[in-house]
Amino acid sequence: MSDYRNISIKNKRAYFNYEILEEFVAGIVLAGTEIKSLRLGKASLVDCYCYFVNHELFIRGMNIAEYAWGNINNHAPKRDRKLLLTARELTKLERASQDKGVTIVGLRMFINDRGFAKVAIGLARGKHEYDKRETIKQRDTKRELDTIKKQYRR
């Protein structure tokens, strides 16, 4: 069995497409086969976002693959899942998400030291095309500087 403590699934597209204003760590309600599949690293956060229903936060678009050794009671891979936050964090997120252009996206999913699945979510504002180009430019410049530093150390 693999060590599930080093499981960390990231949503790299979120950092590219959005400017992250604030981050929160939320617990997530999972079925038995979902946590088993997650511990095998079979999950994806691409195109996932959060929404409110009756002052409760849910995440939609997260894909946790069906458990390979599951039976007829296996879970649905793309079902909506409830997130667990404190009441203060929920009200703060609900107020902030009602602003124009602000959304809540899933950033990464991990299993903490106690063995519980957690999702890092971010209050995000969409980037413009020129902001994305600037991000690419900074990333390329950093990569070039790192290669120059490596050559200099030799």
Its pTM stands at 0.78
Mean pLDDT of the chain: 85
* Residue 122 near residue 105 (C-beta atoms within 8 A): yes
State what percent of residues in the chain have pLDDT above 70: 96
Q: What pLDDT, in 10s, does the model give residues 18-71? A: 888 889 999 999 888 888 888 888 888 888 889 999 989 999 988 888 877 777
Residue 72 CA: distances (Å) to CA of 36, 42, 67, 101, 118: 15, 19, 11, 41, 26
| pLDDT at residue number 114 | 87
Where are the domains positioned within the chain? Answer: 4-127
Fold of 4-127: Small Protein B; Chain: A; (2.40.280)
Q: Quick one: 59 exposed, middle or buried, by C-beta within 10 A (0-12, 13-18, 19+)?
A: buried
Rg (CA), the chain: 18
- pLDDT (average), residues 102-130: 87
| pLDDT at residue number 141 | 92
Q: If you search the block for the tokens 């590219």, which residue do you land on? A: 16
